Amino acid sequence: MVDYIKSCEELKEGESVFPHVFPYRDFTPEFSAHPRINFKKAGYYCFDVGIEIDKDTFTAAKASVDVSMTGAQLIRDGKETRVFSLCRPPGHHAGYDHFGGYCIFNNAAAAAYYLSQKGNVAIVDVDFHHGNGTQGIFYEQSDVLYVSLHGNPDRSYPYFSGFADETGKKLGKGYNINIPLPAGVGDDEYRKYLNGALRKVKKYKPWAVIVSLGLDIFKGDPLSDIGVSSPFFSEIARTFCDLGIPVLGILEGGYDMADLAQNGANFIEAMAQAE
C-alpha cells in the first residue's frame, strides 16, 4: 500500500485517482483480485469513495506521520512530558494495508508502536468517528490499549466497526474498548463517558497515553450529532494531564471551519499550562 501511494507521485499536476472499484481480496486462490495496472487499483487499498490521491499525497501523508513520530520521540527520550502533534492528514481510519476516511497512514498507531518499545501505551480516541484503522492494527496485541469514544456505528461513519462487543482477539482480548455514544451528548454527559474511559486507562497502567483528538465532537461540527462546547476541549486536555504520565496529543478530524482553530488552541493551551 505504501508503495502504491508513493507511486502516485508520477501523476501529472491536477490529475487525481478516485477509488471506484473495490475488489474483494480472496476471490479464489488462483485469482486474489490484486490489480495489475498501477493507477487502476485505488479501490484495492481503500475502503470508501471519500478520498482522492494525487502527486502530493505521499509527501503530505508521510510528513503527517513524521510530525507524530517527532512528538513520540520527544516523549520517549524524556525531553517532554506533554506534546501536541498537529497532524494533517489525520490517520485513525488507516490500517496496515488500507486507507480511507481522509486518512492515508495511521499517525497515532505509528507513534504508539514506537512508544510501546519502552512499555505499555494507551490510545484514547475522542474523534466522533470510530478509529477502525487503529483498532485493527492493535486488535491482537496487549501492549497497546485502545479506547474509543465515538458516535454509535448504528448511525455513524464508518458504520462497520466501533461496536461495544469488539474487545480484541488473541493476546489483545480485553485491550480494545469501544464506547459508542448516543446522539445529543453534551459536556456533562461526555464528561461521564470520558471518566469511564480513563478508569480503564488507569487500570491498565500505561507509561504514556496518546490522545487521538477529534475536534469534530464540537457542537457546531457538521459531521457529528453530539456536541461539546469549545471550553470543554481545555477540560479534556487537563483530564489527560492529570493522569500523571506523559501525554501525546495527535490531531484527527474536525470540520467546523469557523471554530476549528479555537477548539484546537483550547486543548493545546491547557496542555501547556498543566502542572
Architecture of domain 56-273: 3-Layer(aba) Sandwich (3.40)
pLDDT at 37: 56
Instruction: Please enumerate in sequence order all residues whose Cβ is within 8 A of that of 92, keeping only pairs 6 or more positions apart, or say none.
Output: 101, 103, 106, 107, 108, 109, 125, 127, 129, 131, 132, 133, 134, 212, 252
CA-nearest of 151, 167, 53, 59 to 102 is 53
Positions in the chain whose pLDDT score sits under 70: 25-40
Q: Which amino acid belongs to residue 187?
A: D
pLDDT at 40: 64
pLDDT at 76: 98
Boundaries of every domain in the chain:
1-55, 56-273
pLDDT at 30: 58
Q: In a 3-state reduction of DSSP, which class is residue 145?
A: strand
CA-nearest of 238, 271, 240, 245 to 119 is 245
Q: CA 235 to CA 87: how far, in whole Å? A: 21
Exposed, middle or buried by CB within 10 Å (0-12, 13-18, 19+), for 272? exposed
Catalytic residue numbers, as ranges: 93
Which residues does residue 177 pair with via DSSP β-bridges, in sequence order? 147
DSSP letters along 39-57, please? GG-HHHHBS-SS--B-TTH
**pTM, whole model, 2 decimals?**
0.95
Could you report the per-residue pLDDT of 63-79, keeping only the tens digit for each? 999 999 999 999 999 99
Could you report the per-residue pLDDT of 146-161, keeping only the tens digit for each? 999 999 999 999 999 9
pLDDT at 25: 64
Instruction: Please enumerate in sequence order all residues whose Cβ is within 8 A of that of 23, keeping only pairs 6 or more positions apart, or say none.
Output: 33, 34, 35, 43, 44
